[in-house]
């Protein structure tokens, strides 16, 4: 199980982590924006974390003779998610210091303009502005930023792990192919 978890987790993490490096030039060109970037990011997470399905199915079919419990499948999904999440967060740390320099300031400016547009009164504007300033300072701490980045991807993997475990625990769901000789 360990080998499958590491392989599929690393591949998923590399796929989703690569989006930072592919997306940075697109962000600079205005193709990806703060408004649509969330959709791009979560779509790449779903695509990358679909490898949970293939990893669990591989283990079920090749190591467990086509039968896996919900608990074992869910555990594998979470472990693959964990590996992918760490690679994703490490990728963001590298991208943040290289291809995405200035991201924090750009995000702060973007969010501040939205706050100014949507604030109902001066008190609300000041409170929300202060929260943004506090967040900006907090986000500069690499440990906090790493934790925030982990929490972006982990819930997606958790959901996919639940779905995969529910499907693959049924031995009749995509049973292993029986090669005939």
Report phi then psi at 157, rounded to 5: -65, -35
Residue 88 lies in a domain: yes
CA angle 69, 12, 98 (to 5 degrees): 150
Query: Could you report the per-residue pLDDT of 84-128, keeping only the tens digit for each?
Result: 999 999 999 999 999 988 888 898 899 889 888 888 888 988 999
Task: Give the count of domains, the chain.
Answer: 1
Q: Spell 35-44 as b/e; 16+ CB within 10 A means b.
A: eeeeebbeeb
pLDDT confidence bin for 181, thresholds 50/70/90 = very low
Residue 129 lies in a domain: no
Q: Give the range of the structural domain holding residue 84, as residue numbers without chain letter.
A: 2-100+145-168
Residue 158 lies in a domain: yes
Residue 55 lies in a domain: yes
Residue 90 lies in a domain: yes
Residue 58 lies in a domain: yes
Query: Looking at residue 180, what is its pLDDT?
Result: 41
Residue 136 lies in a domain: no
Query: Could you report the per-residue pLDDT of 25-71, keeping only the tens digit for each?
Result: 999 898 999 989 999 999 999 999 999 999 999 999 999 999 999 99
pLDDT confidence bin for 152, thresholds 50/70/90 = very high
Query: Looking at residue 176, what is its pLDDT?
Result: 82
């Amino acid at each position: 199980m360990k080998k499958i978890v590491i392989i599929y987790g690393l591949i998923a993490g590399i796929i989703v982590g690569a989006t930072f490096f592919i997306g940075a030039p697109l962000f600079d060109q205005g193709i990806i924006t703060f408004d649509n970037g969330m959709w791009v990011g979560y779509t790449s997470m779903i695509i990358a974390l679909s490898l949970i399905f293939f990893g669990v199915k591989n283990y079920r079919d090749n190591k467990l003779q086509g039968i896996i419990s919900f608990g074992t499948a869910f555990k594998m999904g979470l472990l693959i998610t964990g590996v992918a999440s760490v690679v994703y967060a490490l990728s963001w740390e590298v991208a943040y210091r290289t291809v995405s320099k200035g991201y924090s300031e750009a995000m702060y400016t973007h969010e501040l303009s939205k706050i100014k547009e949507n604030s109902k009164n001066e008190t609300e504007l000041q409170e929300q502005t202060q929260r943004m300033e506090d967040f900006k300072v907090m986000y500069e701490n690499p440990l906090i930023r790493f934790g925030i980045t982990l929490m972006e991807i982990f819930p997606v993997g958790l959901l996919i792990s639940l779905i995969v475990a529910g499907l693959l625990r049924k031995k009749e769901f995509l049973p292993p192919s029986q090669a005939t000789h």
